[in-house]
Structure 1
Amino acid sequence: MSGHMWEQVIKYSRHLAEIFGVECVPVNQGDQEQGENKWEPGEICKACEQCNHFGCWGMNAYRKGCEEAYRWDGIYISLCPLGLILITAPLSDETGELAGGIAAGPLCMGNPEDNFQEIYDPVLQKIVSESPCFAPEKIQSMGEIMSAVTGFISGVTHGKAGRYFYKQEHLLNAIYAEKLKKTEDTEYYTYPIALERKLRIAVRSKAVEEAQVLLNQILAYIYVSNCHNLKAIKPRLSELVVVISRAAVDAGADMNETDAMIQMFVNHIHEFESIEELSIWTTNLMQQLIAYTFNFDNVKHADVVYKAVEYIKDNYRRKITVDELAALTYVNKSYLGTIFKKETGSTIPQYINEVRVEKSKLLLLEENLSIVEIASLCGFEGQSYFTKVFREIVGMTPKKYREERGKKRFLIDKGDNL
């Protein structure tokens, strides 16, 4: 991050802190020391020094928040290990890459008393009770303002993915309502089986919006009842996605494909480090399963194929496997191969070679690069294989292509000089 940009981030962080009445921290993603502004844990959040046993990340929580906000185009609202809210907005550099951002919090959502029921340390209870408290709607509004400010500072669009598919404030509202419900009715606070039944009906009926509301309510119950403990939450979510998948199968989705998606979720669930990541995955999975119930054979899978194509274009220089692409797009490899061929007209290996050959054509115009060097730069394993593939796609060898293009360039240059 440039010195001028960093000064702007510090200045606007102070302005936002004055407006919100909340600690706002400038974050420099590329400088772990934060230049001349290095914060110790207790200077960022009074609770940080007291809750090490909760696994608090300190400044790393803000950096992680900036990464996720950049990933999802502008705002990321998360919960710290104590259940306090963190708001982050990303800052892009002149190339569009993540440079840092602004983080606000920690703060409470709703009433202070609702936020420390599961905290038994009196010191931490006091710290949490003294934290600023806001309604979920105001927290979302703060995030929108922060995102607008960081966008103004950087002058480029946030992130690469666009605002993600579920509104985060809706889940925050559901969590807040669930906390109140637990407080008011602890004796009969049991798993909402009626909501699960309604969710199954909504999935079978293809009622996407209703299903999302019900999913948020069930997620809120799981998070609150398990005190935001990821280790306890993950098995519950695995059970929930199985319930959703069976409802999708009842509505006509292909059982083999839904089972493959569930297996992909189970294989990756250990990688998730926050309930926000779990929520995103679960929501995406449910929406894909509902989509599969709409005349499955005719569904266009442009998003999956687009992700695979973009990944190939960005990584053609190195070895790319179908397993790697399947993990990226969250479908199994045989199914990915089928829809990729249907959408592009090429198999995945063929498409990878086509991209590499197109890139090699440009390099063949550079006379200072040998055929061997070009083959390596474009991801081919050896000159002979490069020549074989190039001839199959272009109809001539790389050497012949270079010679022909050189002649054309000479004739064009000669004509321009006449």
Structure 2
Amino acid sequence: MQRETLDSNFLDPNYLEESLGSFHNATGLHIEAINTEGVTFSVPGNFERSEFCRYIRCQPEGEKKCQDSYKRASFEAAKWEEPYFFRCHAGLVIWAVPIMIKGDSLGSIICGQVLMWEPDHFFFQELKKLNIGVQNFEELKNKACKLEVISPARSQAAADMLFVVVNHIVKRNINSLEEIDATRVQQQQIRLEIEDRKKRRLPDLSDYDTYLKKERKFLRYIRLGDRTRANQTLQSLLTDLYTKTVGDLETVKARILELATLTSRAAVEGGANAERIMHLLKEFNKEIEGIERVEKFFYKIQRIVETFLEGIFTLANKKHLAIVKDARDFIMENYALPITVTNVAQHLFISPSHLSRLFREELDCTINDYLTRVRVEQAVEIMKKPEFSVAQVSKAVGFQNQSYFAKVFRKYIGVTPLIYKNSLY
């Protein structure tokens, strides 16, 4: 039997054979996968074709005629993007289910090779006309009598079921292709950032101190639900990790697991549902167990971080999403000023009560809570600069009263500003 292999970048051959094999076992129908030229590339479990089909293919030009029938059927199935019923050149009932990836046809799944009525005198007359070149027509008649006869209703049901199976295989494959594309993009981003650092003559990462400082900044953006800065900092973190570990898989895996855990806690602190975040983290840990490429680790951590951020900032109404996002942006840009709920509402041209309600409903916190969180996070960053006193930090982030700043800081961080500042040096 002539076969061609299928590029595993398009469809996973093992999963294809497993799925089609299950369909065969459930229905008892012959099934095979063909490319756009009508050439078979997979017969699940190597199940043999019917005696009738094997005999036809052994005739002069038989293999070519079968391929031509399959090729025409595959073309029609792709054109209509649904199961296509036809009679092959030898007279059997067959249907083709198209394999479509992003609008392109890879071929079809061929099923059937059956009859829809019991062979009779008229059938044999037609069979003889269709198969003039067959060497021994009586033998062909005997083999035709062994063909399975199924009703039109059963054949339609089988075609519909097969269509569902093929769509499932294709959908799974599209997700894999998107992951491959994203991994390639990840590789390119790392390469471009490394080249950019060399052009700007930035020093290489010599120890984890710089990495950990950047990591703390990243976690701060997560707590604030700042998607843009979080993603930018994450990309820089991954480049640091890649250059520091020289691509060592076990070290990268350990750091990625650690980063995912820290990010999950920051997301919960930012307002995400703790139960959901812990469930996502558990699934993430399972997903990365069998990974053997650094870029795929990076792709997975970017995906889970995006999911965590969505947990912080999940909005059903797009209009509400825009309003709350604009409010957050205004606060991030003006936290050092003595702003109030009224100031934010006036900037957005809506009432303070409406804005407050949206914040409570969508972010599960008040505007003042969010403003305070931003100010404390900014204070933590400024305190890393020894030239600033606690009083100066307090004023720089918008607190007019230093004692109130100390009270709020201790509530969020767990220690007073002075103790925290002294611990840094």
Q: Do these two structures clear the TM 0.5 threshold for a shared fold by scoring above it?
A: no
> Which TM-score applies when normalising by structure 1?
0.33
> Which TM-score applies when normalising by structure 2?
0.32
